[in-house]
């Protein structure tokens, strides 16, 4: 079956192994199937929900495109564009914010995490962020949305918004209710320093994550320093439940080798952590090393990256502007 794929990544710098294993790897897999129509969006409007340095943001937009391509997305067989250049996203977000309910948004755990203790000081944009995300997806009639586990709740909200819009305006199946594509395993990669925290761009310590721009030495060093416990490698899956750091590292190994925890355990059970870390670092170097090199190479080719975006904006605009016109007609503008 052919799928209409839509997904987005924030250009906030430091794209990391979690983004790769949770999302980008799946983007590439879906993009490789010629039957699928893929749209990958650099969501710069989402990025400014937290203050950004304008110069850095500009560079990060290009770096995100470079990362897409270095990871294996084919710009000829997908639409790659930045959100702020397609006005329909902001327009649809406003209209859909009149459909979404406060009660729904109040439940969003990512807002609570990101706003922290002082919610009063968070931007209004950070709060209504999932509505803009719904606009992104619904403008393109996306059938499937590949994301990491942390976006699951936002996708449920998107489905609720689509259904409520269709119901309120009595227009069956006008907004396509999308299916999330979240990998069953390894869709939440954890910090290398704390197995109970998600690997994240905003975590202060750079040792907590493998950046996709890290060179081989940095990768090896970070895996050496990754937190483990003093016991040998676990023997079975049950033991893993009490050892989050071991679970995370084995998960990373399994995902990189397209395997699963059970099979990986068969190889490493009872062995020394240092031996396992050597093998893991090797795998990471052979997977992430070439991506890192390619990103750096592409970053010099500014014009090439800008052309990809320009071309993508044109194609995205021609789809989204038609949909927003229909939305406006339906609501009575």
What tokens appear for 153 in the block?
A: 């709740």
For ligand TYM, the closer of residues 63 and 150 by Cβ is 150
Q: Does 151 bind ligand TYM (CB under 6 A)?
A: yes
Please report whether residue 9 would count as binding ligand TYM according to CB under 6 A.
yes
The per-type count for the chain, helices as H runs and strands as E runs, is 15, 5
Number of residues that bind ligand TYM (CB under 6 A): 24
- Shortest distance, position 15 Cβ to ligand TYM, whole Å: 8
H helices present in 72-215, as ranges: 88-97, 102-106, 109-115, 124-138, 152-168
Pick the piece of the chain touching ligand TYM (CB under 6 A) from 2-10, 276-284, 286-294, 302-310. Answer: 2-10
In which residue are the tokens 């327009």 written?
Answer: 91
238 burial level (CB within 10 Å; 0-12, 13-18, 19+): exposed
Least separation, in Å, of the C-beta of 111 and ligand TYM?
11
- Pull the structure tokens for residue 265: 């355990």
Name residues contacting ligand TYM, limited to 117-146 (CB under 6 A): 133, 136-137, 145
**Are 157 and 108 a contacting pair, CB within 8 Å?**
yes
283 a catalytic residue: no
**Binders of ligand TYM in range 83-102 (CB under 6 A):** none
Catalytic residue from among 3, 37, 198, 277: 198
* Closer residue to ligand TYM (CB): 133 or 157: 133
**Three-class secondary structure of residue 38 per DSSP:** strand
Using the rule CB under 6 A, which residue among 4, 25, 62, 198 binds ligand TYM? 198
Whether 25 is catalytic is no
Shortest distance in whole angstroms from residue 209 CB to ligand TYM = 8
150 lines the binding site for ligand TYM (CB under 6 A): yes
Question: Catalytic one among 152, 164, 193, 201?
Answer: 201
User: Tokens 């009639």 map to which residue?
Assistant: 141
- Cα–Cα distance for residue pair 97/31, rounded to 1 Å: 31
- Helices 152-168/124-138 angle, 10° precision: 70
Q: Which is nearer to ligand TYM, 148 or 312 (CB)?
A: 148
Interface pick for ligand TYM out of 13, 75, 148, 195 (rule CB under 6 A): 148
Question: In the bound complex, what is the minimum distance in angstroms from residue 270's beta carbon to ligand TYM?
Answer: 28
In the annotation, is 114 catalytic? Answer: yes
Length of the chain: 333
Least distance to ligand TYM from the beta carbon of 103, Å? 21
Q: Phi and psi of 177, rounded to 5°?
A: -85, 110
First vs last C-alpha separation in the chain: 36
- Distance CA(118)–CA(301), nearest Å, equals 42
Site for ligand TYM in 23-52 (CB under 6 A): 23, 43, 46
Q: Which residues between 275 and 314 bind ligand TYM (CB under 6 A)?
A: none
Cβ atoms of 88 and 139 closer than 8 Å: yes
Active site residues: 114, 198, 201
Under the rule (CB under 6 A), what is the footprint of ligand TYM?
6-10, 18-19, 22-23, 43, 46, 133, 136-137, 145, 147-148, 150-151, 187-189, 198-199
């Amino acid at each position: 079956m052919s799928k209409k794929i839509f997904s987005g990544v924030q250009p906030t710098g430091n794209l990391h192994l979690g983004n790769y294993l949770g999302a980008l790897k799946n983007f590439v897999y879906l993009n490789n199937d010629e039957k699928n129509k893929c749209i990958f969006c650099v969501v710069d409007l989402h990025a400014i929900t937290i203050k950004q340095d304008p110069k850095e943001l500009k560079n990060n937009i290009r770096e995100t495109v470079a990362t897409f391509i270095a990871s294996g997305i084919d710009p000829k067989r997908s639409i790659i564009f930045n959100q702020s250049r397609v006005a329909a996203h902001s327009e649809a977000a406003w209209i859909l914010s009149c459909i979404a309910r406060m009660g729904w948004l109040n439940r969003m755990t990512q807002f609570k995490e990101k706003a922290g203790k002082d919610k009063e000081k968070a931007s209004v944009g950070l709060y209504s962020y999932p509505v803009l995300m719904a606009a992104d997806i619904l403008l393109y009639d996306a059938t499937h949305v590949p994301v990491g586990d942390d976006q699951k709740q936002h996708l449920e909200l998107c489905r609720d918004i689509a259904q409520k819009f269709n119901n309120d305006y009595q227009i069956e199946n006008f907004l396509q209710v999308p299916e999330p594509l979240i990998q069953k395993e390894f869709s939440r990669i954890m910090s290398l320093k704390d197995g109970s925290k998600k690997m994240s761009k905003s975590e202060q310590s750079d040792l907590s994550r493998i950046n996709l721009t890290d060179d081989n030495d940095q990768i090896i060093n970070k895996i050496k320093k990754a937190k483990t416990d003093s016991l040998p490698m676990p023997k079975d899956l049950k033991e893993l439940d009490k050892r989050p750091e071991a679970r995370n590292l084995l998960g990373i190994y399994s995902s990189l080798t397209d395997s699963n925890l059970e099979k990986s355990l068969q190889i490493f059970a009872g062995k020394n952590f240092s031996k396992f870390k050597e093998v893991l670092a090797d795998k990471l170097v052979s997977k992430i090393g070439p991506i890192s090199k390619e990103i750096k190479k592409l970053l010099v080719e500014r014009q090439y990256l800008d052309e990809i975006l320009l071309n993508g904006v044109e194609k995205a605009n021609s789809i989204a502007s038609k949909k927003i016109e229909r939305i406006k007609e339906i609501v009575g503008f």
